[in-house]
Amino acid sequence: MSEQKTCKEAEWEIHPITPETGAEIVGAELSGKLNEEQIRLLRETLARHKVLFFRGQNHLDDEGQEAFAALLGQPFAHPTVPVKAGSGYILELDSHHGGRADQWHTDVTFVDEYPSASILRSVVAPGAGGDTIWANTVAAYNSLPQELKVLAESLWALHSNDFDYAVSAERKGIAVTEERNYRNVFASTVYETEHPLVRVLPDSGEKSLLLGNFAKRILNVSASASDHLLQLFQEHITRLNHTVRWRWEEGDVVIWDNRATQHVAVNDYGRQHRIVRRVTLAGDIPVSAQGERSRVRSASAPRLQTQPDSASA
């Protein structure tokens, strides 16, 4: 069932992909020239569906992607991985150079003010494979039994980039040297942050489960209990009824609410080439159900870069 939304100088169709998660927007041409009404509609639709999909945005280049992103929020560069040469904020994930984000994660949760949203553009898509799957962490919280909601709201987890979601000992199609080099860059500065397992979203008041593979352990419980709790809640988040899957074509753009989702890139395409480029938008410090804010544990960790690196611009 589709929804038709009309705004100034544009008529877009919104096609939900699942009842709770994901919608394809038809008729939109993304750029840095969208008007305020169009941006308002995008924000409202993102808040409802959590992930938005756009086909055929081949007109966008790096500059255009950054200009569009800036209409939605304040872009910033990844805290450890250098931006793409010639750009201000773009993180390039190139499968031939270690860029395979094949672990469930929410972007950059190893810092306190992790991104509110991400905008990902497909530059090179495999002929088959390389899909991305998103899990709706608000829907996951809502579907918990009441007893587990109470438990989850009492728990905190330590998040760190000491574990790199884009590198795994069992990864396919990537050379060991490339894997090692990517790991060294990704963890060149180690961040540690304590986040509540349940955060309250600032705009809607919805509650969202905050985990993923940057979550190292549950605080104030034994190592064994931590492992069991992480597995319990992470497996619940990624149940199929909480997910939406996208088959990439070159020129596709996907926007997701990074506070309300996890995602994973399926690493099933061997040595086929896959390149995607991402811009993330500045977020806020999570607040627990009890009103406590996330805490930075690593005192030496520098803040996220919110201004482009002049050396790479």
Instruction: Report the Cα 144 to chain-centroid distance in Å.
Output: 22
Instruction: Examine the residue annotation and report whether 195 is marked as an active-site residue of this protein.
Output: no
Instruction: Examine the residue annotation and report whether 263 is marked as an active-site residue of this protein.
Output: yes
Selecting among 107, 112, 164, 252, the annotated active-site residue is: 107
**Closest by Cα among 112, 145, 117, 129 to 49:** 117
Selecting among 78, 195, 199, 263, the annotated active-site residue is: 263
| Cα–Cα distance measured from residue 8 to residue 42, given in angstroms and rounded to the nearest whole number | 13
| Cα–Cα distance measured from residue 24 to residue 17, given in angstroms and rounded to the nearest whole number | 7
Instruction: Examine the residue annotation and report whether 107 is marked as an active-site residue of this protein.
Output: yes
DSSP states along 49-86:
HSEEEE---TT--HHHHHHHHHHHS-EEB-SSSPPPTT
Pseudo-torsion of CA 144, 148, 150, 152, nearest 10°? -90
In degrees, rounded to 5, the angle at the alpha carbon of residue 294 between the alpha carbons of residues 288 and 298 is 160
Contact 68, 34 (CB under 8 A): yes
Residue 169 neighbours by CB distance under 10 Å: 5
Instruction: Examine the residue annotation and report whether 180 is marked as an active-site residue of this protein.
Output: no
Residue 3 neighbours by CB distance under 10 Å: 12
For residue 168, list its beta bridge partners: none
Pseudo-torsion of CA 283, 289, 291, 293, nearest 10°? -40
Selecting among 49, 78, 100, 105, the annotated active-site residue is: 105
Just list the catalytic residues: 105, 107, 263, 278
